[in-house]
Structure 1
């Protein structure tokens, strides 16, 4: 059987791929360069707890050759107890991003209402499923960004969205929408779903979870992850907290055996380590406060109040931000430009150990001093 070469300039076989996919700009996270201290991915700086390390050390290797159901059910029960809901309200997924993909795949249509500053993955999911997107305002205030309740209300009335998204705390700004606003929208737009992404919940004592509210607000969905507060990005474990009827529908579209045994094992050990991670979060917030005070003393540099494990830092302009990013990297630390969020004069700096943040602050101080001397 002879075969004819397909021209690389005209790969006709790609016509088998949906046009929406071919037109999407792929989401590529920043390269995880481990030759430097990487503060660009909002990863936790601390190693896993001793309970997690013990669980991995004592792992029965035969569990790696079998499908798991029972450990995943134990994890669902533990998470349900932690969130104040029933096991029927928990949908496990291999990372919260997979949970979002599962949810979007089940939506009947759009539009989707999202913050004006938004992670591009939400937008890609909308394009992937052919949903129109509209936005509400996220405004820059004196010391923090703020969700505009008026803008949310107007967009709800104008666009009648299928899904309304809140990010609590918001990434990259670190702000919180008032809980009354979130729950008020769920009550007002009962034919829509209200998704609250709580990926960065747990760092700030001021950030209240609304997970238990799914019991009284059946159109509320809360997305959570073990990647941030528990610092376990490598196990890809997340979950959705939803009303039981929604959980039943999502279960029809979920991949079977999608949660690995090892991920459930580690997540259970993380829940056993809650006190450890609570102490780490408090320590990280203290480091954040000291770092913010230091860089806020620099002329033309200001940080914005954040309830996550990162800070949004504003420089005088885009050129200054690019210069600062390069100088910090030259000091052996990678931070992330906020250009992709439409904030070219900002850097998003994840929080690390105190000595790492001291290095970043020193690099910023020296960068500004060199520029002023010119």
Structure 2
């Protein structure tokens, strides 16, 4: 196909394959959506929405509401149909891209799609932030955009603010734009929004897909300087945020109290699942400051398929650097989490049974 750019033809698809299961714990969605009374109010407002009309060009009304909610200048707020689209626009604007490894795959995927030079610095042992190595990378060559998810995906680790601040200072001195992706900030002990306010070389990326329980609505936003926001906004398609999406998010912003309640439920369940997995004979769960757990298993394919056969869908992560044997499980409702735990320990018992049969068979020979 000569009409298309050659490098695009050779690129693999985005690394996600849809599968069906009774219990879906593979995409880090909130198990709790809008409360019933807000759903009823949304239905009422949607009934009055003129769908024959285009939405605002860049979701200006929603951007104004987000600015009020976040205490951020409205000119520095960019809204998109999911934070992925904003990441794509940032990469399109970047001279080059710096990342950590492993990381959220969309940074690298976007760089390859857009032909942007890409470099990833491996995390240290225990998923520790490699500050010195990143500072060295920031000092080499022309500047670009540096993405750092914190809390980190896919590991669930939280990088201490003082270490992140050190990187922010280095990035600013080297004229890099540093984007801290805070998709899971509600589950963490701190965030970097206050430090980013007024900093031209620092931006914050957030989403309504996780703690807000609005993954199906598809909305994310960037908090940045007016200059950066203008460039990113111009790279997003006009009328890109559908009117129903804007309406749902505006309603949620009017009633943010439900989010704190949902987050607390998820935190309690996350800690419970983590503690119960300590008794698993072969799986190791890592501490998390998100709504998911990364789990190291002897065989990620076997763990994934075994859970799927028992009606529980999780996400394999063993294709990522340094995550051999890893799977990722979203924290769901208590009932869903109990089903996952039951399946996980059943697999362990079945594995022990198979090993014993093999030993007995060997003995008979």
How does the TM-score come out when normalised to structure 1? 0.88
Query: Which of 7, 15, 19 is residue 6 of structure 2 equivalent to?
Result: 19
Q: Return closer, same or farther for 1:340/1:282 CA change in 2, 3 Å cut-off.
A: same
CA deviation profile, 1:303-339 (whole Å, cap 9, x unmatched): 1111111000112x22xx3333222222211111112
Equivalent position SS for 2:282: coil
SS in 2 for 1:233: coil
Asked if 1 retains the 8 angstrom alpha-carbon contact of 2:331 and 2:337, the reply is yes
1:356 aligns with 2:356: no
Output the CA distance in 1 between the equivalents of 2:82 and 2:91.
15
Partner of 2:168: 186
**Is this contact kept in 1: 2:58–2:79, CA < 8 A?**
no
Partner secondary structure for residue 337 of structure 2: helix
Alignment counterpart, residue 187 of structure 2, candidates 174, 190, 203? 203
The corresponding residue for 1:51 is: 38
Structure 1: how far apart are the matches of 2:57 and 2:10? Answer: 41
Check whether the contact 2:77–2:222 (CA below 8 A) recurs between aligned residues.
Answer: yes
Q: Which residue pairs with 2:116 in the alignment?
A: 131
Helix, strand or coil: the match of 1:340?
coil
Tell me, in whole angstroms, the C-alpha distance in 2 between the residues paired with 1:360 and 1:280.
Answer: 20
Would you say the 8 A contact 1:71–1:265 is kept in 2?
no
- Residues in 2 aligned to 1:246 and 1:200: alpha-carbon distance in whole angstroms: 23
Tell me which residue corresponds to 1:41.
27
Indicate which of 289, 307, 314 corresponds to 2:296.
314
Q: Which residue of 2 aligns with 1:323?
A: 302
**Aligned residue number for residue 363 of structure 2:** none
1:217 equivalent in alignment to 2:199: yes
Are 1:369 and 2:346 matched, yes or no?
Answer: no
Equivalent pair of 1:169/1:175 in contact (CA under 8 Å): yes
After the TM superposition, list the runs of 4 or more consecutive aligned residues in structure 1 that deviate by more than 3 angstroms. Answer: 158-161
Q: 1:185 to 1:160 in 2, by over 3 A?
A: farther
Deviation at 1:228, TM superposition (A): 0.8
Indicate how the Cα distance of structure 1 residues 325 and 311 shifts in structure 2: closer, same or farther if over 3 A, else same.
Answer: same
Which structure 1 residue ranges, 5 or more long, are not aligned? 1-13
Q: Find the counterpart in structure 2 of residue 258 from structure 1.
A: 240
Residues of 2 paired with 1:240 and 1:310: CA distance? 23
| Equivalent residue in structure 1 for 2:72, among 81, 85, 96 | 85
Q: Could you tell me whether the CA contact under 8 Å between 1:135 and 1:155 is conserved in 2?
A: no
Q: Name which of structure 1's ranges 267-276 and 180-189 shifts more when overlaid on structure 2.
A: 180-189
1:222 and 1:79 mapped to 2: Cα distance?
13
1:159 is displaced (CA, Å) by: 5.1
Shift of 1:84: 2.2
Partner of 2:266: 284
Asked if structure 2 preserves the Cα contact closer than 8 Å seen for 1:71 and 1:261, the reply is: no
Contact 1:227–1:236 (Cα < 8 Å) also in 2? yes
Moved more, 67-76 or 238-247: 67-76
> How many residue pairs end up in the alignment?
350
1:333 maps onto 2:318 in alignment:
no
Match of 1:10 in 2: none
**Per-residue deviation, 1:137:** 2.5
Are 2:325 and 1:345 aligned?
A: yes
TM-score w.r.t. length of structure 2: 0.90
Q: Distance in 2 between matches of 1:63 and 1:71?
A: 17
2:93 match: 106
Conserved? CA contact 1:30–1:41, under 8 Å:
no
2:104 maps to 1:122: no
Give the aligned CA root-mean-square deviation in angstroms. Answer: 2.0
Q: Say whether the 8 Å CA contact 1:202–1:229 is kept in structure 2.
A: yes
Unmatched segments (≥5 aa) in structure 2: 356-365
